[in-house]
Amino acid sequence: MKLSIITATYNCDDLFDACLKSVANQDIIDDIEHIIVDGGSTNNTLATAASYPHVKKIYSSPDRGIYHAFNRGVDMAEGDVVYFLGADDTLHGTSNLAKVLVEFSNRDIDYVSTRVRCFDDNTGETWLTHASEKEGTNVCHQGFFCRKSLFEKIGPFSECFTLYADSFFMKTAMRRYSGKYLDIVSANFRQGGSSSLSSNRTLLKKESQAVALLLEDVVKDNQHQLDRNVQDLKFLLEQLVCKEHAFGDYQGKNIAVFGTRQLSIIIANALKSAGGNVQCFVTSDRQATSSIKDVPIKSLDMLSQLPLDIIVNCVEGAHEEAIAESIRRSITNAEVVSWRAL
């Protein structure tokens, strides 16, 4: 089984090296064909790619955008399975691609979808996506692997879309063909690309609504768009809370903040500015790693090892109380407080 990894590039030398290294370090590197499709870079991008022996093909010519580049890569691919990795993204670990390829030994499987670790260097925010749309979120193309033959069934990425052609392709595949969802993390996805920019959100919303109509989905709004709008409001909230709320009851207390999204970071910053000792961020996901702005991230089952006074639950929505109960079962020597009560 051969895997073709397609990376579209254009003057991206700085972060590109980390991407290439993450592919070169894979356990199954002999089964990987890394294809670089470049838009006509004028810096060291092509020289950097050529310095890695595992890079099998490099093509450089002006293109009409990233989906044109992706389609060029598919045409060049000789692998049984195709995967798209951003030039500023990296593969997660060295063995997960091998686990993905094993699934394709089942000839009835057209695609495999995994989780992706997303992160934002500017805010320190980090989170894991779901592998399936059934879990309530869009799937990232950094977590989507498919047989090359699926492009013959569905067609190439549609250049009618500027930002949503990959989502249109994946949604079509998930509705019409057979796949497998794996609870592993395949890639580290750096936020800040075209679909993450505020200036592109109106276009992203329009394209997501167009896809919903094409696929006859009953979708009133795009969840990604809603999440980004709410995030903007939370940045404003951070300015207000950190300057105007003293949080005096939490001064000198050892505190854990449940959650790793923007609200959790805002609350942690506010508590620290009020003299609280924020020990860690907490997640129920045992695959959680790393830290946010030098504050470690711990899994829920590690809380009993920490001398905590208070755990602030920053979950929003229907699962808030269920998560609170789960926290209380995991640690009995600390008070669980909702962020709403602050």
| Out of 84-88, 141-145, 201-205, 229-233, least confident range | 229-233
Q: Given this model, what pLDDT does residue 123 score?
A: 82
Residue 91 lies in a domain: yes
Please tell me whether residues 132 and 193 are part of one structural domain.
yes
Please tell me whether residues 37 and 179 are part of one structural domain.
yes
Q: Does 219 have pLDDT greater than 50?
A: no
Contact by Cβ (8 Å): 115, 49: no
| Out of 29-33, 117-121, 199-203, least confident range | 199-203
Q: Given this model, what pLDDT does residue 218 score?
A: 44
Question: Which of 163, 196, 226 is the C-terminal boundary of a domain?
Answer: 226
Q: Given this model, what pLDDT does residue 239 score?
A: 57
Residue 240 lies in a domain: no
**CB-side exposure of 241: number of CA atoms within 13 Å?**
22
Residue 286 lies in a domain: yes
Residue 141 lies in a domain: yes
Residue 67's contacts (CB-CB under 8 Å, 6 or more residues apart) are: 157, 158, 159, 161, 165, 166
First to last CA, the chain: 54
Q: Given this model, what pLDDT does residue 318 score?
A: 65
Please tell me whether residues 117 and 202 are part of one structural domain.
yes
How far is it, in rounded angstroms, from Cα 158 to Cα 163? 10
Q: Which two tokens stand for residue 287?
A: 């695959």
| 242-280 CB burial, b ≥16 within 10 A, e <16 | beeeebeebeebbbbbbbbbbbbbbbbbbbbebebbbbb
> CA nearest 87: which of 43, 127, 131?
43
Q: Given this model, what pLDDT does residue 235 score?
A: 61
> What would the pLDDT profile of 235-287 be if each residue is shown by its tens digit?
656 655 665 555 668 889 999 999 888 888 888 988 888 889 999 999 887 66
Which residue range is the domain that position 335 belongs to?
Answer: 245-341
Residue 54 lies in a domain: yes
How far is it, in rounded angstroms, from Cα 342 to Cα 339? 5
pTM (2 d.p.): 0.72
Please tell me whether residues 253 and 197 are part of one structural domain.
no
Please tell me whether residues 149 and 296 are part of one structural domain.
no
Cβ burial, residue 191 (10 Å; 0-12/13-18/19+): middle
Please tell me whether residues 312 and 169 are part of one structural domain.
no
Residue 197's contacts (CB-CB under 8 Å, 6 or more residues apart) are: none
Count the domains in the chain: 2
How far is it, in rounded angstroms, from Cα 336 to Cα 311? 5
What percent of the chain has a predicted confidence (pLDDT) above 90? 53
Residue 232 lies in a domain: no
Average pLDDT over residues 123-141: 78
Residue 81 lies in a domain: yes
Predicted confidence band of residue 220 (pLDDT cuts 50, 70, 90): very low
Question: Which of 199, 226, 253 is the C-terminal boundary of a domain?
Answer: 226
Q: Given this model, what pLDDT does residue 221 score?
A: 44
How far is it, in rounded angstroms, from Cα 91 to Cα 188? 6
> What would the pLDDT profile of 50-80 be if each residue is shown by its tens digit?
999 999 999 999 999 999 999 999 999 999 9
How far is it, in rounded angstroms, from Cα 157 to Cα 64? 12
> What would the pLDDT profile of 115-129 be if each residue is shown by its tens digit?
999 988 888 888 888
Question: Which of 173, 197, 226 is the C-terminal boundary of a domain?
Answer: 226
What percent of the chain has a predicted confidence (pLDDT) above 70? 85
Please tell me whether residues 193 and 77 are part of one structural domain.
yes
Please tell me whether residues 252 and 219 are part of one structural domain.
no
The CATH number of the domain holding residue 261 is: 3.40.50.720
Please tell me whether residues 266 and 317 are part of one structural domain.
yes
How far is it, in rounded angstroms, from Cα 103 to Cα 155? 23
Cβ burial, residue 20 (10 Å; 0-12/13-18/19+): buried
Please tell me whether residues 206 and 260 are part of one structural domain.
no
> What would the pLDDT profile of 290-328 be if each residue is shown by its tens digit?
888 889 999 888 888 889 999 999 887 667 888 888 888
Residue 14 lies in a domain: yes
Please tell me whether residues 221 and 166 are part of one structural domain.
yes
The CATH number of the domain holding residue 23 is: 3.90.550.10
Question: Nearest 10 degrees: CA dihedral of 299, 294, 332, 319?
Answer: -60
How far is it, in rounded angstroms, from Cα 248 to Cα 113? 46
| Out of 22-36, 125-139, 278-292, least confident range | 125-139
DSSP assignment letter at 139:
P
Please tell me whether residues 193 and 273 are part of one structural domain.
no
